[in-house]
Amino acid sequence: MIRPSFASLRTKLVLLVFLAYLPAFGSQLLATAEHRATVSSNALERARQLTQLATANQTRLVDQARQLLTTLSRLPEVSGSDWAACNTLLARLLEENSMYANLGVVTPEGDVACSAVPTKGPVRVNDRAWFQRALQTRGFAIGDYQIGRITGKPTVNVAYPVLADDVVVSLSSERQHVAA
């Protein structure tokens, strides 16, 4: 039986070709690893920039809602007891501000007294975080992500108390959630 010899010309040529390609293969692996690291770094930077943009946008939207509610809290239709006039006013404002799902006024007991979107019956919100926070702080409050009881839409509510005769009436706006 003849044993193959590593000293044969064919074996030496194959080994030589393999060794010739080894640096190119190693170089390709290194370039791929560097490219992957660069792509990963760029993706992280873009994610950071998007996060900053989203945060700035959300801050701007909350500030706009706060300004709207602060202004509305000073109107007699909102702080009075003429809920029909309040419904009409808020419905008109909602038409002009389509970024909101609803605008409403809630009594200190948590009953919706006035709503831009008509209700199908009594609606109580005294268990909602935004309402409880507005009552506790007697200031602007932001709620949690939720499904609106009147609109059925995913929203984040904000509220601003109307302080009249030591009674807190919560004026709230539902900001529509836009999925990315």
pLDDT tens column, 87-138: 999 999 999 988 888 999 988 888 998 999 999 999 999 999 999 998 898 8
Report residue 70 as tokens.
């602060």
What mean pLDDT is predicted for residues 170-179?
51
Separation CA 167–CA 98 (nearest Å): 30
Mean residue pLDDT of the chain comes to: 84
Interior angle at CA 107, CA 131 and CA 88, nearest 5: 105
What mean pLDDT is predicted for residues 19-36?
88
For residues 164 and 109, the model is more confident at 109
**Residue-number span of the structural domain to which 163 is assigned:** 1-180
**Weakest-pLDDT range from 31-35, 43-47, 166-170:** 166-170
In the block, which residue shows the tokens 């992957």? 36
Report CA Rg, the chain.
Answer: 32
Residues whose CB falls within 8 Å of the CB of residue 149, separated by 6 or more in sequence, listed in order: 123, 125
The one-letter amino acid at 62:
V
* CATH number assigned to the domain comprising residue 170: 3.30.450.20
Please give the share of the chain, as a percent, with pLDDT higher than 90: 35
Overall number of domains in the chain = 1
Which alpha helices (DSSP H) does the chain contain, by range? 9-73, 76-79, 83-96, 129-137
Q: Is the pLDDT of residue 165 over 60?
A: no
